Amino acid sequence: MSPKQVPAPGVDPYFPANGDARYRVHRYELALDYRPGPNRLGGTARLSAVAGAVPLPEFALDLAEFRIGRVLVDGRAAHYTHRAGKLRIRPAKALAAGAAFTVEVHYTGNPRPVRSQWGGLGWEELTDGALVASQPVGAPSWYPCNDRPGDKASYQISITTPSPYTVVVGGRLLTRTTRASSTTWVYEQPAPTSSYLVTVSIGHYETVRLIEPSPGPEPLRAVPQTAYLPARLLPEFSTDFGRQAQMMHFFEDVFGPYPFGEYAVVVADEELDVPVEAQGLATFGTNHLGGARGSERLVAHELAHQWFGNSLSIADWRHIWLNEGFAKYAEWLWSEHVGGRTAAEHAATAHALLAGLPQDLRLGDPGKKLMFDDRLYERGGLAMHALRRALGDTAFFRMVRDWAAIHRHGTVSTADFIAHAAHYATGPLDGLFDAWLHETSLPPLPVGT
């Protein structure tokens, strides 16, 4: 990237129009009402934020084409314009550098996905209900936000719907209150959360508690695990997700303590191309069930994202391999753990696959066009395997646990990871990282002890 192309600090080079790096949000409070029939969403978003190093005569939020009722800054009416997905707000008085402030936005409309090169992103109306799958820039499809992965905040989300529907949000259910024919569900997610990782599922679901088997005489902390799915799918679900509780224990051994208060999975009553991770929650489709554990690698992949991608969030989308490389390698580790193919066997298969494909992907900065390319996932897993071979198992897994612990609920970059890994090596790793992250040609298959 030439000097003229270097983005301003905090601006995502893949999505420079998204977010506003001049301030940070530390809490969102959303009070929403949703009617599935007419697909009508309305409510109030209250954001608590802090201005950056310079005064703010105006600032921007990302929000799709809703009708705005009013906008308040610190309780006072503010001037605003709303065009092309940007809500630009001018307070009655400029905000001082470093000042804490609140923004309140009242809005209504018919939510629909944000258009992108990957199809619609964000709020999706289902045959009978709705779900949210926002990665990477779909969050503005349903609430006003500072849509940058590195701007993490806590959330309280209240959603009122007709009473027959179940509402699932990532986090802890605080209250469920029914009045007449409507029910209000209030969830709290205290952990810092990227805007794209906030999700909602609304549907006719049965609730299933997953029971964790004790791994020995001294049981580990039991992470509450809950599933929401159509009742007719319960028999298949019990097989396809039957080892998730065991998987949670294994990943806590490998990656360190689970970083959130609970974990939920939703099986939406629709087919989905791929499952979708969110903070403390993952959403699957009916096509991911079959009663034969045919999608168990995806169960592992989405659970691993709770550590890598959610607790440890990337500073911007150039670093997406840190999310997907760890999650892909988690698939291989789980397979090895339960007596399936070893990580080395998976690595050999992935290497053979990549060797026959175009060599034009730079893992450490793939570009917007290739950031979700299948090759990024496979090469990311291979890079992790190469690092494991270079460090040896003891140092590698200590490095992984420390990486998750040191940066818990923070933001990370490729440079951070390279510097971290160096502390666990007996020799320089520059050649390894250059070959796997910065060169496009495929390095040799990692071998070693």
- Which residues pair with residue 126 across a beta bridge? 129
State the DSSP H helix or E strand holding residue 190, giving kind and residue range, or none if neither.
Answer: strand 182-193
- Which residues pair with residue 193 across a beta bridge? 153
Local structure of 278: helix, strand or coil: strand
Q: How far is CA 248 from CA 227, 232, 307, in A?
A: 14, 26, 11
Please name the residues in contact with 67: beta carbons below 8 A apart, sequence gap of 6 or more.
107, 108, 109
- Which residues pair with residue 175 across a beta bridge? 186
To the question of whether residue 301 is assigned a binding role by annotation, the answer is: yes
To the question of whether residue 324 is assigned a binding role by annotation, the answer is: yes
Q: Is 95 exposed, middle or buried (0-12, 13-18, 19+ CB in 10 A)?
A: buried
Quote the tokens at residue 206. 């049965």
Instruction: With CA atoms as reference, report the closest residue to 436 among 369, 372, 368, 389.
Output: 389
Contact at 8 Å (CB) between 23 and 100?
Answer: no
The sign of the dihedral angle between the CA atoms of 156, 78, 43, 314 is negative
Point out the residues that are catalytic. Answer: 302, 377
Quote the tokens at residue 179. 């009045």
* 6 CB-side CA count, 13 A: 3
CA distance 356 to 200: 40
To the question of whether residue 337 is assigned a binding role by annotation, the answer is: no
Q: CA angle at residue 124 from 140 to 297, to 5 degrees?
A: 100
Tell me the chain's radius of gyration from C-alpha atoms.
22
336 phi/psi in degrees, rounded to 5: -65, -40
CA distance 403 to 405: 6
State the DSSP H helix or E strand holding residue 351, giving kind and residue range, or none if neither.
Answer: helix 343-355
Contact at 8 Å (CB) between 185 and 159?
Answer: yes
Give the residue ranges of the annotated binding site for Zn(2+). 301, 305, 324
Give the residue ranges of the annotated binding site. 301, 305, 324
